[in-house]
Amino acid sequence: MKNIVVFASGSGTNAENIIKYFSNSPFAKVVGVFTNNPKAKVIDRAQQLQVPCHVFSKEDLNEGNILQKIQNYEPDLIVLAGFLLKVPPYLIDAYSNQIINIHPALLPKFGGKGMYGKHIHEAVVQNSEKETGITIHYVNEHYDEGAVIFQTAVALTSEDTAESVAAKIHELEQQFFPVVIADVLQ
């Protein structure tokens, strides 16, 4: 059985989708959720689905204070699902090519520090992009620069708003993220 650990900072809809997707899987399961946000809705979602959730501070992350907790789960894959902090080098070294992230744009467009959530969707609309999408990639020491695993696009119109773009992206995330995680693990 492959063990998945999910990191999230917000509402946790992707984390919930991943947990549910693997709940009856014969080869993988989500064994733990980690969040840096004590008010994140992902905490309630994980608890409702009976997955242990750990809250930590930015200092805990940067100083390595959570490494032992992560190691206790023996993860085969660490999945960033709306996790907003930069992953420190010690964690990347400990789990080389075992940390993946989902980005709500077609990288390399709209990537980098400060480019997340509504900021991306607003930039996509302001730039009159004809399409946007999701990128699932390995995590390295630079924001959104790890090797791309998967991308898929969705068409946009001149009527699209940041909110409608966000809805289109959310549909792609829900549809493809768990499937790509399964592919990576196999």
CA distance 64 to 115: 25
Question: Tokens representing 57?
Answer: 């501070």
What 3-state class would DSSP assign to 7? strand
State how far the Cα of 31 lies from the Cα of 73, in Å rounded to an integer.
7
The length of the chain is: 186
DSSP single-letter state for residue 110: T
Spatial distance between the Cα atoms of 68 and 70, rounded to a whole number of angstroms: 5
Strand partners, 5: 32, 78
Give the single-character DSSP code of 21: H
Residue 103 is a catalytic residue: yes
- The single residue of 103, 119, 121, 170 carrying the catalytic annotation is 103
| CA angle in degrees (0–180, nearest 5) for 55-57-61 | 100
Residues belonging to the active site: 103
